[in-house]
């Protein structure tokens, strides 16, 4: 059987609280709170909803002293790592580092100079706090915008590499890098260029994507090519409004690209004139009965005889139906025919048996699958990137 190949952008590992970012670790899903950070009750309520939805890292903004003052209390009352977002005022970064935070997010270009950036780097190093170096096309430094004429991918990558060089010059290496843009093509090209020149982990996202559902589609268009290229160690889907739906959207994109499969995947044909069973009812019942399952199994339910047999054979379990009855397939082999009224019960029984067989064979996968890292380069993730050479950092990591 044909096997898909996957070469992951090989990065060093950066520890953010109890979550390891980069290396062979699963792509981590994060979001950001919307209330004023000093409003502890509102922030905690939103973080707890995000945790319940599956969020694994959460970011709060700290533009003023009263926001920094509550960070210890927020950290004490949440379960996931706390990231602090800093813009314009490096003093807020220094104040945040006096609290037990897990990570800083900084755009060095808007801190008012590299000396201030170095001051933050040194304190973060002393405190053992990692940092995301955020380059954004919408706030690129004038120097690089003028050099290239506009905030293009080469300008963004040059900016990121300079920040990395400055951080390394003070011995700081606990970095994650982002190169975000609201333009899909710009973001994709920037991340691809970066991945060829450095091996610090990346946080990927399409910034200012807008309102769902278009924003989810736009994010998927930008992030899927990167994920399929093996690029991306943390991910956020930026949506207007309540951040909780960002989590499901992120996991759906990871599932569709097979970068992180956390639940069974249901495949169903579209509604058309060839449909000969009540497929919507069957799928709705299956979704309900599969809630909470984390098995990485592909289940296909097709309601006509045109594509049904082929699709059912390709899935781990499948039904090819027509005329109110269907044939169940398992690992490509026909099992038996059942009436429409028994399809859901029969599938659930077969899913249980499939899990037992896979577990006995040591093949059962739940949660995040093991990802194959490109072994053509040196495998020591924890030895850091190469020192600065000819003005560039890191290794030629992709093809």
Angle at 52 between CA 49 and CA 55, to 5 degrees: 90
| Closest to 266 measured CA to CA, from 300, 302, 311, 317 | 300
| Closest to 220 measured CA to CA, from 259, 245, 257 | 257
Q: How many Cβ atoms are within 10 Å of 236's Cβ, its own excluded?
A: 28
Please report the pLDDT score of residue 385 as a whole number.
34
The strand pairing partners of 330, in sequence order, are: 317, 333
Q: Token pair for residue 394?
A: 């890191």
Domain boundaries, the chain: 14-259, 265-360
The strand pairing partners of 20, in sequence order, are: 15
From the centroid of its chain, how far is CA 80?
16
CATH homologous superfamily of 14-259: Dihydropteroate synthase-like (3.20.20.20)
Spatial neighbors of 42 by CB under 8 A, at least 6 apart, are 35, 36
DSSP state of 374: -
CATH homologous superfamily of 265-360: Sulfite Reductase Hemoprotein, domain 1 (3.30.413.10)
Angle of helix 153-169 relative to helix 114-127, nearest 10 degrees, comes to: 60
Same CATH fold assignment for domains 14-259 and 265-360: no
Per-residue pLDDT in tens (0 to 9) along the chain, 399 residues:
456 677 889 999 999 999 999 999 999 999 999 999 999 999 999 999 999 999 999 999 999 999 999 999 999 999 999 999 998 899 999 999 999 999 999 998 888 888 899 999 999 999 999 999 988 877 777 777 778 877 789 989 999 999 999 999 999 999 999 998 889 999 999 999 999 999 999 999 998 767 889 999 999 999 999 999 999 999 999 999 899 999 999 999 999 998 888 888 888 777 665 666 778 888 898 888 888 888 888 888 887 665 556 666 778 888 888 778 888 888 888 888 888 888 889 889 988 988 888 888 887 777 643 333 333 333 333 333 333 333 334 433 322
Measured CA to CA, the distance from residue 251 to residue 236 in angstroms comes to: 10
Please report the pLDDT score of residue 392 as a whole number.
37
Structure pTM? 0.81
DSSP state of 175: E
Q: Are strands 203-204 and 19-21 parallel, antiparallel or unpaired?
A: unpaired
Measured CA to CA, the distance from residue 48 to residue 78 in angstroms comes to: 7
Please report the pLDDT score of residue 236 as a whole number.
95
């Amino acid at each position: 059987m044909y096997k898909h190949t996957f070469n992951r952008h090989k990065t060093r590992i950066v520890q953010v609280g109890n979550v390891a970012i980069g290396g062979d670790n699963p792509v981590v899903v994060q979001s950001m709170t919307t209330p004023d950070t000093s409003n502890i009750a509102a922030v905690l309520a939103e973080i707890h909803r995000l945790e319940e939805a599956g969020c694994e890292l959460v970011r709060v903004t700290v533009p003023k002293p009263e926001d920094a003052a509550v960070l210890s209390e927020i950290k004490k009352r949440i379960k996931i790592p706390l990231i602090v977002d800093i813009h314009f005022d490096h003093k807020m970064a220094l104040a945040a580092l006096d609290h037990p935070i897990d990570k800083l997010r900084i755009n060095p270009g808007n801190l008012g100079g590299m000396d201030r950036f170095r001051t933050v780097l040194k304190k973060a190093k002393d405190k053992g706090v990692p940092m995301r170096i955020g380059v954004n096309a919408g706030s690129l430094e004038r120097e690089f915008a003028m050099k290239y004429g506009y905030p293009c991918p080469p300008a963004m990558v040059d900016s990121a590499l300079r920040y990395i060089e400055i951080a390394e010059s003070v011995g700081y290496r606990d970095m994650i890098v982002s190169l975000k843009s609201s333009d899909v093509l710009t973001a994709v090209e920037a991340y691809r260029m970066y991945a060829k020149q450095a091996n610090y982990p990346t946080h990927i996202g399409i910034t200012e994507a807008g309102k769902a559902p278009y924003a989810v589609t736009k994010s998927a268009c930008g992030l899927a090519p990167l994920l399929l290229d093996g690029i991306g160690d943390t991910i956020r889907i930026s949506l207007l409004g309540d951040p909780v739906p960002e989590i499901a959207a992120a996991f759906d994109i990871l599932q569709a690209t097979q970068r992180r499969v956390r639940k069974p995947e249901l495949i169903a044909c579209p509604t058309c004139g060839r449909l000969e069973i009540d497929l919507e009812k069957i799928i709705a019942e299956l979704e309900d009965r599969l809630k909470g399952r984390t098995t990485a199994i592909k289940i296909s339910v097709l309601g006509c005889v045109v594509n049904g047999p082929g699709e059912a054979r390709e899935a781990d379990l499948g039904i090819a139906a027509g005329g109110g009855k269907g044939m169940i397939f398992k690992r490509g082999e026909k099992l038996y025919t059942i009436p429409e009224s028994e399809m859901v019960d029969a599938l659930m029984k077969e899913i249980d048996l499939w899990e037992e067989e896979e577990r006995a064979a040591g093949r059962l996968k739940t949660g995040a699958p093991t990802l194959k890292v490109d072994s053509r380069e040196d495998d020591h993730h924890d030895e850091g990137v190469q020192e600065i050479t000819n003005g560039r950092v890191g290794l030629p990591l992709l093809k």
